[in-house]
A and B are shown apart, each in its own frame.
Chain A
């Protein structure tokens, strides 16, 4: 029995092979479709295969902390800085940004489209108690949403505020089913296949700016490889691909990495 077990494990135990980097990324990055453009090009240029683990920012940082991934690509500045302060990563490198948008029922019962700032729009939702779907999963999007509620001076609670604890796409599915308001990143929204009665209602506030950063993990199996991935991500080739990426004819990511 033990022999059979060991044999099976031996046969299948083809763990991380040479030139493979494991990177935890956020659901919003993967759902946007940019990964499918960047990773093949990266493999072509550097010979490095990036294995992507698509999780929320909270889980991505946990995986990095344990050394189960070599790098993380996330978008939650406060959490990233705490991660670095705890010694789990030496630094963070800003790569690109996109922005968040407020999605809601096309009829806009709370009148958010007329708001001047995002916090006014959230205030209108809370006042009218229109149904709002929150990610509730400690992801970057969730953390930003909570920070916005905080700035608006509102404690979101009550029957109208639904904390779903799910990824961006799953939360959008919930919002579509309930005709609810939701904060989503633009790329995932444009790529999303089940828009139903939802529409983009509010955009353009600088508070909705969404910076993605790359953090090599201190416990990485091969820091050199993680470094080469970083160098490629800030290269001109990556700039062209990121800036040139279009979803439904719109540019969704803007490259803003600076040379060291």
Chain B
């Protein structure tokens, strides 16, 4: 119990003094995860909507696969991305291994199925309501997807935030493809793993509290910007 207090204090001290190393790794965490969320949303949201309105032979199989991929083990993703980006691998010439870009690629692979799956659930219900209207207006498939995404934006925001939540706390994959290099690819989660390894539990826990605070701040900021709770809307 003492160590949890010591951790909270350590976290508070880091934040209050704006420790330069902490600011650096926190910004990198945000940069990597937000970029990954934007890319994964750009892929996952339209994919979820498309799966909701399009009927084709293997649709159920695709949806089941997508749902199963939500539980993709990050370590395996990390290992596969490592083998692809390794200089001995097929994309080795790009020189992306052990860079933030490699971490973004791994995170996009991890969270895209999650975002697409949640988006699919939300859009499916909306589509049931909008089906007759959109068909009678003889809209094109592209217009239908755009309408559904726009009108379902609050539910889709939840999908993206779920992706953010999984990505910001992820450590297994980015440790392998990023390498936890000081001043280059060290982020909050890998720093926590490092400090735990050194037995410095207070600092590790302090960084953990910073991470939780960061996730909270991002969620609140996005809700404020998108005004989900304003004007008497429930």
- Chain A contact residues, CB within 8 Å of chain B: 1, 4-5, 8-9, 12-16, 22, 27, 31, 51-54, 65-68, 167-170, 172-173, 176, 191-195, 219
Cβ of B179: which chain A residues have Cβ within 8 Å of it? 51, 53
Interchain CA distance A9-B104 in the complex, whole Å: 9
Q: How far is the CB of B73 from chain A (nearest CB, A)?
A: 16
Identify the closest chain B residue to A55 (Cβ).
B179
Interface residues of B in 57-112 (CB under 8 A from A): 86-89, 92, 94-101, 104
Are A68 and B87 in contact, CB atoms less than 8 angstroms apart?
yes
Are B181 and A53 in contact, CB atoms less than 8 angstroms apart?
yes
Are B96 and A13 in contact, CB atoms less than 8 angstroms apart?
yes
Are A8 and B198 in contact, CB atoms less than 8 angstroms apart?
no
Identify the closest chain B residue to A35 (Cβ).
B182
Are B184 and A194 in contact, CB atoms less than 8 angstroms apart?
no
Instruction: Encode B192-203 as 1/0 by CB contact (under 8 A) with A.
Output: 001011111100
- Chain B contact residues, CB within 8 Å of chain A: 35, 38-39, 42-43, 86-89, 92, 94-101, 104, 179-182, 184, 194, 196-201
Are B181 and A51 in contact, CB atoms less than 8 angstroms apart?
yes
Interchain CA distance A195-B201 in the complex, whole Å: 12
Identify the closest chain B residue to A171 (Cβ).
B197
Are A31 and B198 in contact, CB atoms less than 8 angstroms apart?
yes
Interchain CA distance A237-B95 in the complex, whole Å: 33
Are A8 and B95 in contact, CB atoms less than 8 angstroms apart?
no
Identify the closest chain B residue to A22 (Cβ).
B98
Identify the closest chain A residue to B32 (Cβ).
A12
Interchain CA distance A195-B100 in the complex, whole Å: 35
Are A170 and B197 in contact, CB atoms less than 8 angstroms apart?
yes
Are B87 and A9 in contact, CB atoms less than 8 angstroms apart?
no
Given contacts A52-B181, A53-B181, contact A15 B197 (CB under 8 A): no
Contact residue among B43, B98, B196 (Cβ-Cβ distance under 8 Å from A51):
B98
Query: Chain A interface secondary structure, helix, strand, loop or mixed?
Result: mixed
Interchain CA distance A237-B198 in the complex, whole Å: 27
Interchain CA distance A58-B39 in the complex, whole Å: 34
Interchain CA distance A192-B95 in the complex, whole Å: 35
Cβ of B196: which chain A residues have Cβ within 8 Å of it? 169-170, 173
Identify the closest chain A residue to B180 (Cβ).
A54
Cβ of B98: which chain A residues have Cβ within 8 Å of it? 22, 51, 53, 68
Are B198 and A192 in contact, CB atoms less than 8 angstroms apart?
yes
Interchain CA distance A4-B42 in the complex, whole Å: 9
A-B contacts, 26 of them at CB < 8 A, read: A1-B43, A8-B39, A12-B99, A13-B94, A13-B95, A13-B96, A13-B101, A15-B94, A15-B99, A22-B181, A51-B179, A51-B181, A53-B98, A53-B180, A54-B180, A67-B92, A68-B87, A68-B97, A169-B196, A169-B198, A176-B199, A191-B198, A192-B199, A194-B199, A194-B200, A195-B199
Are A67 and B198 in contact, CB atoms less than 8 angstroms apart?
no
Cβ of B199: which chain A residues have Cβ within 8 Å of it? 169, 172-173, 176, 192-195
Interchain CA distance A195-B35 in the complex, whole Å: 40
Are A12 and B87 in contact, CB atoms less than 8 angstroms apart?
no
Identify the closest chain B residue to A59 (Cβ).
B176
Are B95 and A66 in contact, CB atoms less than 8 angstroms apart?
no
Q: How far is the CB of B47 from chain A (nearest CB, A)?
A: 11
Interchain CA distance A164-B199 in the complex, whole Å: 16
Interchain CA distance A27-B197 in the complex, whole Å: 9
Identify the closest chain B residue to A170 (Cβ).
B197
Cβ of A170: which chain B residues have Cβ within 8 Å of it? 196-197
Interchain CA distance A40-B133 in the complex, whole Å: 67
Interchain CA distance A172-B199 in the complex, whole Å: 8
Given contacts A14-B99, A22-B98, A52-B181, contact A66 B198 (CB under 8 A): no
Q: How far is the CB of A5 from chain B (nearest CB, A)?
A: 6
Cβ of A9: which chain B residues have Cβ within 8 Å of it? 96, 101
